[in-house]
C-alpha cells in the first residue's frame, strides 16, 4: 500500500511539474555599451551579451532562443551564439560610417525557448538599453577651405599675423578630423606659419626688391595624414603709403597738329586716409629753353608786325647780316633755334647804326621794342649795361637818349633839345622788376608820349617807380651816333671808343617814330603759341577755382573736395597752335599744398616732374612752278605797266606721310605725298646778272593787289620782296601781278629772274624758279621800207677799229696769208660802200619823181613821225646828226616817197597795219640818234 501511495505521489508530482516547467523569464543586464569600428560588422559590448534563465537546465524552458532589437531602422542585429549558456553577439547588418552617425541607442530583449523547439509559450526578459559608439578610421586627408589665399602688407614692417589659412578633415573623430600641423613647402621665403595656420613675415619686406610673393602651404591632421593638394598664398607688398599724386606718366608725347592733349588722364591724389579740408595745385609748363621763352611764331620782325596790325614805319636795328645791313655782321648770332635770329652780347661786342638807318624824326611820340634775356652780372653791379644809345659822335659825351640796365633796373634816358623845350623836364625813367635779371626771355616795349613813358613787359603795363628831371641839351652842330650793345664815347677821351657794354641777348630791336603801339598789338607780338589748357572747361565742377597767367604757362587750381580736384587735374591739357612747332621736351612741374581739419600738422604732397615731348613735325616741301621762259615784243615792255612775269605761277606744299593701309599689307612703311595748306612769310624775286637800271627799268606791283592781305612789298635794283604772313593763294595772286617795265626795250636783249618763297623766316624754303625773259625785237627801221632803198639784210657794218681790235695782239707778226685776207676784206668793204652811195643817189632821184607825181595827184602825206635815216656808212656821230637836223624838210620828202614805195612795192612782207604798230618804236630810235644794237644786226 505504501509503495502504491509513493508511486501515486510521484506521479502526482510529475504531473504537476509537467504542468509548470517554464516558470522564469530570461535575465539580461539593464544596459550595454558597445563599440564598433567603421567599415566592420562586430560590436564589442560591455558587458558581453549573455542571457540567464532560472529554468535551466530544463530543456527549452532554460534555453535562450533569440535576442530581439527594438528601434527604428537600427542597422544592428543580435544573434544567439549558445542557447544553453545564453551567449549572444551584436552585429551590424551593413558597414557603418562614423561620418554619417557616430552613436546608436536601441532596446534589446532575450527570449527563451518556452515549452518546445518552436519557442511556444516562451518568456521575454526585461528591456535593456544598448549604447553603441562608432570608432573612426582616418580615411580622409585635410582639405583647405580656400583654393587660394591673398593678402597685402606694407613694406618695412614685421607682422605677427598676415593672414590665416585653414584646412578641414571629414573624419568624424577628433583624432583624425583635427588639423595638427601646417607647413610652408616653398623654399627660401621670408615667411613662417604656426600650427593654427597663421602666416607671418620673418624679415622686413621691400617694395623695391619684390612686389609680390607666392608661397605653397600644406596641412597634416592629427593622424599624420597630409593634405593631398597644397594651397597657394599670394602676398602683395605695398610701398609705404606716401601722400602724393599717383597714376601719372613721366613722359607725354605730343603729335603736332592734334590740338589739345590731356596730360594726366588717370592721375589721382593719395592722402593715405588723411582728411583734407582743401587743396591747391599749381601746374607749371617750363619752356624757357625754347626760342625766346616759349614756342612763338618765328617769322621775321616785319612779317610779325604786319600780321599783328602794327603801325608801319618801324626801323629794325638788329636785322640779319647782309650786304645792305652789314652793321650786324660783327655781332655774335644764335639762329639755330627754329630760325630765330638772336644776338648774344658778352660785354665786348657792339654795333654802330649807319646814319641813313637812324630815324631822324623822333618826336614826342615813338616806340622802342626789343626782346631781352638778361641776368645779374656778379662783380659788375655798379656798371651800366647799354642796350641802345644815341650820343655825340665827336667832341662831347652827351647822351641824347638811351636804354640801359643798371643794378637789375631798367632805365630809359631821354634828353630833349633846347629847340624843343627849355624847362626842367623829366629825363630818366626807372623800373625795378624781377624780369630784368631772371635770365629768361621777355618782351619789352617802351611807349613814349612825352612826358609820360610807359613800359610793357610781356604785355603787362608797368609805371616807373622813379622819374628824375634834367635840363634840356644845349643845341650844337655835333653829329650823333646811334649804337646797340654799348654806348659810343666820341669826346672827352683820347681815343673814341665804346663803353658801358651790354651782357645778355637781344632780338627784334626796333624804333617806330611818330607812333605808339596799342596793348593789343603788343600782346600779339609777344604771344606764346603753346601753353596749358583745360579740356572740356564746361564740365569742370563749379566749386573748383582756377587761374592762368597771361602766357598760359602756369595754371593754379583750388578746391575743397578731393574727388573734384582729381577730376579737375585730369582735365589739364597741353596745346600748341603752331602748324610746325619747335620739337623737343617741355618740362612740367606740379606742386600741391593741402590743409587738414583742425590739425596742427598736415600731410605734405611732394612735387612731381614730367616732360611733354613735342614730336618732330612733318617737314613741308614747298614747290613753285610756272613758265621758265618768256618772250614778248619790245612794245609790251615799254607799255604802261610793262609785262607780267609770273602769270601762270602755282605754289603748293606737300608732306610725306606713312600709308597705314598699305603698311598692314607689307612689311615696309610705304610713304605717300599729301598736299597741305599753310602760310608763307616772304617770296623774293631776284634779278640775276646786272642789277636793274633805276632810270630805265623796274619791277612793279599795284598797291591794290595788296589790299585785304597781310602783305607788303619792297623794291630795289636787285629785285622785289613780297613779305607778310599770308596764305599761299594770296602770294600767288600778288606775284602773278608783278610786272617788269623797261623804258627803252630796244636796248634790252634778255633778263633773268629767280623766284623763291619761304615759310617761318627761312626754316622751310621752296625750290628756285628761274625765269628767262627775252625781247622779241621788231625789224630795223630799214626793214619797214621798200627793198629798193633798204640795205641788204646780210650786210654787217663794222668800224675799222673793230677789226683792229680783233688782231691787236698779233700786229707785229701777221702771216702773209692773213695779210692777203685783210686786204681783200678792205677792198670788198670799199666796193660795198661805193655801191651803197650810188644806190642812195638813185633812190633820192626816184623819191623826187614820186613826190612830184604825188603833188600832181593832190595827195598830201603827213608822216612827221617817220624820221627814218638809213646810212650804213655813217659813224653815227653828233656832227652827222646835226647835218640831218638841218635838212628836216628834205628828209620828210624822202620819207614820203619811201612810204609810198613801201606800200606799193610787191616785195614788202608787211601789211599797213604792221607798219603802224612799229612806228612809235622807229620814232624813238631815231630820236636816240640811231644807236645801233649789234645783237639786232641780221647776217
Q: In angstroms, rounded to a whole number, what is the distance separating the alpha carbons of residues 149 and 216?
A: 10
Over residues 436-465, mean pLDDT: 91
Over residues 329-351, mean pLDDT: 81
Read off the pLDDT band of 669 (50, 70, 90): low
CB atoms near residue 864 (< 10 Å): 10
Q: Would you call 3 exposed, middle or buried from its count of C-beta atoms within 10 A (0-12, 13-18, 19+)? A: exposed
Query: Which range, of 595-604, 624-633, 770-779, averages the lowest pLDDT?
Result: 595-604
Q: What is the pLDDT of residue 373?
A: 92
Domains in the chain: ranges and CATH:
27-135 (2.60.40.60), 143-238 (2.60.40.60), 244-284+532-614 (2.60.40), 301-526 (2.60.120.200), 620-657+672-776 (2.60.40)
Q: What is the pLDDT of residues 372-400, one digit of tens each?
A: 999 887 765 668 899 999 988 887 888 88
Q: What is the pLDDT of residue 304?
A: 83
CA 536, distance to chain mean position in Å, is 20
Read off the pLDDT band of 290 (50, 70, 90): confident
Q: What is the pLDDT of residue 20?
A: 56
Q: What is the pLDDT of residue 791?
A: 35
| Whole-Å CA distances, 564 to 242, 532, 558, 589, 593 | 21, 19, 10, 20, 16
Q: What is the pLDDT of residue 871?
A: 42
**Three-state SS at 246:** strand
Cell of 438: 631772371
Cell of 402: 638811351
Q: What is the pLDDT of residue 334?
A: 76
Q: What is the pLDDT of residue 241?
A: 82
Confirm if 864 and 896 have CB atoms less than 8 A apart: no
H or E element at residue 850: helix 816-856
Q: In angstroms, rounded to a whole number, what is the distance separating the alpha carbons of residues 314 and 512?
A: 4
Q: What DSSP string describes 255-308?
A: -TT---EES-TT-EEE-TT--EEEEEEEEEEE-TTSBTTB------HHHHHHHH
Name the residue with cell 542557447. 83
pLDDT of residue 516 exceeding 70, the answer is yes
Highest mean pLDDT among 26-40, 814-828, 865-879: 26-40
Over residues 50-61, mean pLDDT: 84
Q: What is the pLDDT of residue 671?
A: 75
pLDDT of residue 535 exceeding 60, the answer is yes
Q: Which residue would you say has higher pLDDT here, 302 or 345? A: 345
Query: Residue 103: beta bridge partners?
Result: 133
pLDDT of residue 621 exceeding 90, the answer is yes
Q: In angstroms, rounded to a whole number, what is the distance separating the alpha carbons of residues 473 and 540?
A: 61
Q: What is the pLDDT of residue 314?
A: 86
CB atoms near residue 813 (< 10 Å): 7
Confirm if 425 and 466 have CB atoms less than 8 A apart: no
Q: In angstroms, rounded to a whole number, what is the distance separating the alpha carbons of residues 320 and 299?
A: 13
pLDDT of residue 817 exceeding 70, the answer is no
Q: What is the pLDDT of residues 889-938, one digit of tens each?
A: 444 444 444 444 443 333 333 333 333 333 333 333 333 333 333 333 33
How many residues are there in the chain? 939
Using the CB atoms, write b or e for 519-537: b if 16+ within 10 Å: eebbbbbbbbbbbbbbbee
Read off the pLDDT band of 167 (50, 70, 90): very high
Q: Is the peptide bond before 451 cis (omega within 30 degrees of 0)?
A: yes
**Three-state SS at 473:** strand
Q: Is the peptide bond before 720 cis (omega within 30 degrees of 0)?
A: no
Residues above pLDDT 90, as percent of the chain: 36
Read off the pLDDT band of 680 (50, 70, 90): very high
Confirm if 65 and 111 have CB atoms less than 8 A apart: yes
When the pLDDT of each residue in the chain is averaged and rounded to a whole number, the result is 79
Q: In angstroms, rounded to a whole number, what is the distance separating the alpha carbons of residues 849 and 894?
A: 11
Q: What is the pLDDT of residue 661?
A: 55
Which letter does DSSP use for residue 761 in this model? Answer: T
pLDDT of residue 784 exceeding 60, the answer is no
Q: In angstroms, rounded to a whole number, what is the distance separating the alpha carbons of residues 553 and 766?
A: 34
Query: Which range, of 48-57, 123-132, 376-385, 774-783, averages the lowest pLDDT?
Result: 774-783
Among 370, 386, 390, 392, which Cα is nearest to 318's?
370
Q: In angstroms, rounded to a whole number, what is the distance separating the alpha carbons of residues 855 and 852?
A: 5
Q: In angstroms, rounded to a whole number, what is the distance separating the alpha carbons of residues 478 and 393?
A: 7
Confirm if 326 and 351 have CB atoms less than 8 A apart: no
Q: In angstroms, rounded to a whole number, what is the distance separating the alpha carbons of residues 515 and 364?
A: 9
Q: What is the pLDDT of residues 118-142, one digit of tens each?
A: 666 788 889 999 999 988 888 899 9
Over residues 437-456, mean pLDDT: 91
Over residues 414-442, mean pLDDT: 82
Q: Kindly give the pairing relationship between strand 629-633 and strand 769-776.
A: parallel
Four-CA torsion 536, 539, 540, 541, nearest 10 degrees: 180
- Helix 888-904 to helix 878-886 angle (10° resolution) is 80
Read off the pLDDT band of 819 (50, 70, 90): low
Q: What is the pLDDT of residue 600?
A: 56
Q: What is the pLDDT of residues 184-236, one digit of tens each?
A: 999 999 999 999 999 999 999 999 899 999 999 999 999 889 999 999 999 99
Terminal-to-terminal C-alpha distance of the chain? 211
Q: What DSSP string describes 372-417?
A: EE----TT-TTS-EEEEEEEESSB---EEEEEEEETTEEEEEEPPB
Read off the pLDDT band of 882 (50, 70, 90): very low
Over residues 450-473, mean pLDDT: 88
Q: Kindly give the pairing relationship between strand 31-37 and strand 128-135.
A: parallel
Q: What is the pLDDT of residue 789?
A: 31
Q: Which pTM does this prediction carry? A: 0.58
Amino acid at each position: 500500500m505504501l509503495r502504491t501511495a509513493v508511486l501515486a505521489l510521484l506521479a502526482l508530482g510529475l504531473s504537476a511539474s509537467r504542468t509548470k516547467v517554464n516558470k522564469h523569464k530570461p535575465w539580461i543586464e539593464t544596459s550595454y555599451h558597445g563599440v564598433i569600428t567603421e567599415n566592420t560588422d562586430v560590436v564589442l559590448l560591455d558587458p558581453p551579451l549573455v542571457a540567464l534563465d532560472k529554468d535551466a537546465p530544463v530543456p527549452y524552458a532554460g534555453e535562450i532562443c533569440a535576442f530581439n532589437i527594438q528601434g527604428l531602422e537600427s542597422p544592428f542585429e543580435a544573434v544567439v551564439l549558445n542557447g544553453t549558456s545564453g551567449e549572444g553577439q551584436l552585429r551590424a547588418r551593413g558597414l557603418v560610417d562614423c561620418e554619417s552617425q557616430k552613436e546608436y541607442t536601441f532596446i534589446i530583449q532575450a527570449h527563451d525557448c518556452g515549452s518546445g523547439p518552436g519557442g511556444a509559450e516562451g518568456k521575454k526578459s526585461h528591456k535593456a538599453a544598448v549604447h553603441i559608439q562608432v570608432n573612426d578610421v582616418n580615411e580622409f586627408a585635410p582639405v583647405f577651405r580656400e583654393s587660394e589665399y591673398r593678402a597685402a602688407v606694407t613694406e618695412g614692417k614685421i607682422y605677427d599675423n598676415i593672414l590665416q589659412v585653414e584646412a578641414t578633415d571629414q573624419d568624424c573623430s577628433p583624432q583624425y578630423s583635427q588639423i595638427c600641423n601646417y607647413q610652408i613647402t616653398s623654399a627660401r621665403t621670408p615667411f613662417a606659419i604656426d600650427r593654427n595656420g597663421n602666416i607671418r613675415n620673418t624679415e622686413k619686406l621691400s617694395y623695391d626688391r619684390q612686389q609680390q610673393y607666392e608661397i605653397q602651404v600644406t596641412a597634416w591632421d592629427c593622424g599624420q595624414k597630409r593634405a593631398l593638394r597644397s594651397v597657394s598664398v599670394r602676398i602683395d607688398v605695398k610701398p609705404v603709403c606716401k601722400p602724393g599724386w599717383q597714376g601719372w606718366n613721366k613722359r607725354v608725347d605730343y603729335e603736332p597738329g592734334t590740338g589739345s592733349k590731356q596730360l594726366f588722364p588717370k592721375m589721382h591724389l593719395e592722402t593715405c586716409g588723411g582728411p583734407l579740408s582743401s587743396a591747391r595745385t599749381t601746374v607749371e609748363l617750363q619752356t624757357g629753353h625754347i626760342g625766346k621763352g616759349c614756342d612763338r611764331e618765328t617769322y621775321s620782325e616785319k612779317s610779325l608786325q604786319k600780321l599783328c596790325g602794327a603801325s608801319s614805319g618801324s626801323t629794325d636795328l638788329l636785322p640779319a647780316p647782309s650786304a645792305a645791313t652789314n652793321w650786324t655782321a660783327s655781332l655774335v648770332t644764335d639762329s639755330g633755334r627754329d630760325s630765330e635770329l638772336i644776338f648774344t652780347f658778352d660785354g665786348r661786342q657792339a654795333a654802330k647804326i649807319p646814319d641813313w638807318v637812324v630815324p631822324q624824326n623822333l618826336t614826342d611820340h615813338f616806340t622802342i621794342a626789343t626782346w631781352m634775356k638778361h641776368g645779374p652780372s656778379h662783380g659788375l653791379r655798379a656798371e651800366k649795361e647799354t642796350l641802345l644809345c644815341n650820343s655825340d659822335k665827336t667832341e662831347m659825351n652827351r647822351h641824347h637818349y638811351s636804354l640801359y640796365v643798371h643794378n637789375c633796373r631798367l632805365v630809359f634816358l631821354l634828353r630833349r633839345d633846347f629847340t624843343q623845350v627849355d624847362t626842367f623836364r623829366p629825363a630818366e625813367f626807372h623800373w625795378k622788376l624781377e624780369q630784368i635779371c631772371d635770365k629768361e626771355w621777355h618782351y619789352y616795349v617802351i611807349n613814349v608820349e612825352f612826358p609820360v613813358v610807359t613800359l610793357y613787359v610781356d604785355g603787362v603795363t608797368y609805371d616807373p617807380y622813379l622819374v628824375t628831371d634834367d635840363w634840356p641839351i644845349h643845341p650844337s652842330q655835333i653829329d650823333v651816333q646811334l649804337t646797340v650793345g654799348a654806348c659810343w664815347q666820341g669826346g672827352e677821351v683820347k681815343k673814341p671808343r665804346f663803353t658801358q657794354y651790354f651782357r645778355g641777348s637781344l632780338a627784334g630791336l626796333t624804333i617806330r617814330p611818330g607812333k605808339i603801339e596799342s596793348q593789343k598789338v603788343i600782346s600779339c607780338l609777344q604771344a606764346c603759341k603753346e601753353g596749358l589748357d583745360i579740356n572740356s572747361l564746361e564740365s569742370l565742377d563749379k566749386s573748383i577755382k582756377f587761374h592762368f597767367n597771361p602766357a598760359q604757362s602756369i595754371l593754379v587750381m583750388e578746391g575743397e573736395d578731393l574727388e573734384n580736384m582729381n577730376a579737375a587735374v585730369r582735365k589739364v591739357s597741353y596745346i600748341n597752335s603752331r602748324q610746325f612747332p619747335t620739337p623737343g621736351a617741355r618740362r612740367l612741374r606740379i606742386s600741391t599744398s593741402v590743409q587738414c581739419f583742425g590739425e596742427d600738422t598736415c600731410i605734405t604732397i611732394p612735387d612731381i616732374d614730367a616732360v611733354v615731348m613735342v614730336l618732330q613735325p612733318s617737314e613741308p616741301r614747298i614747290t613753285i612752278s610756272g613758265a621758265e621762259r618768256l618772250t614778248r615784243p619790245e612794245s609790251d615792255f615799254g607799255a604802261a605797266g610793262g609785262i607780267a612775269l609770273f602769270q601762270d605761277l602755282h605754289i603748293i606744299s606737300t608732306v610725306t606721310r606713312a600709308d597705314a593701309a598699305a603698311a598692314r599689307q607689307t612689311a615696309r612703311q610705304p610713304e605717300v605725298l599729301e598736299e597741305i595748306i599753310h602760310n608763307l612769310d616772304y617770296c623774293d624775286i631776284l634779278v640775276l646778272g646786272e642789277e636793274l637800271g633805276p632810270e630805265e627799268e623796274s619791277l612793279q606791283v599795284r598797291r591794290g593787289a595788296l589790299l585785304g592781305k597781310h602783305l607788303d612789298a619792297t623794291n630795289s635794283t636787285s629785285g622785289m620782296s613780297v613779305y607778310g604772313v599770308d596764305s599761299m593763294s594770296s602770294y600767288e595772286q600778288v606775284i602773278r601781278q608783278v610786272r617788269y617795265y623797261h623804258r627803252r626795250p630796244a636796248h634790252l636783249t634778255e633778263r633773268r629772274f629767280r623766284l623763291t618763297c619761304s615759310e617761318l623766316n627761312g626754316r622751310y624754303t621752296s625750290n628756285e624758279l628761274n625765269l628767262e625773259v627775252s625781247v622779241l625785237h621788231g625789224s630795223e627801221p630799214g626793214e619797214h621800207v621798200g627793198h629798193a632803198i633798204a640795205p641788204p639784210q646780210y650786210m654787217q657794218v663794222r668800224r675799222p677799229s673793230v677789226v683792229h681790235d680783233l688782231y691787236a695782239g698779233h700786229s707785229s707778226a701777221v702771216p702773209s696769208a692773213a695779210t692777203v685776207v685783210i686786204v681783200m676784206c678792205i677792198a670788198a668793204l670799199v666796193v660795198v660802200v661805193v655801191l651803197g652811195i650810188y644806190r642812195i643817189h638813185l633812190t633820192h632821184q626816184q623819191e623826187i619823181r614820186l613826190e612830184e607825181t604825188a603833188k600832181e595827184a593832190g595827195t598830201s602825206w603827213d608822216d612827221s613821225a617817220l624820221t627814218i635815216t638809213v646810212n650804213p656808212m655813217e659813224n653815227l656821230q653828233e656832227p652827222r646828226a646835226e647835218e640831218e637836223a638841218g635838212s628836216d624838210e628834205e628828209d620828210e620828202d624822202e620819207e614820203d616817197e619811201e612810204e609810198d614805195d613801201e606800200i606799193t612795192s610787191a616785195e614788202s612782207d608787211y601789211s599797213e597795219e604792221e607798219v603802224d604798230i612799229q612806228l612809235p618804236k622807229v620814232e624813238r630810235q631815231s630820236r636816240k640818234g640811231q644807236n645801233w644794237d649789234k645783237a639786232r644786226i641780221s647776217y
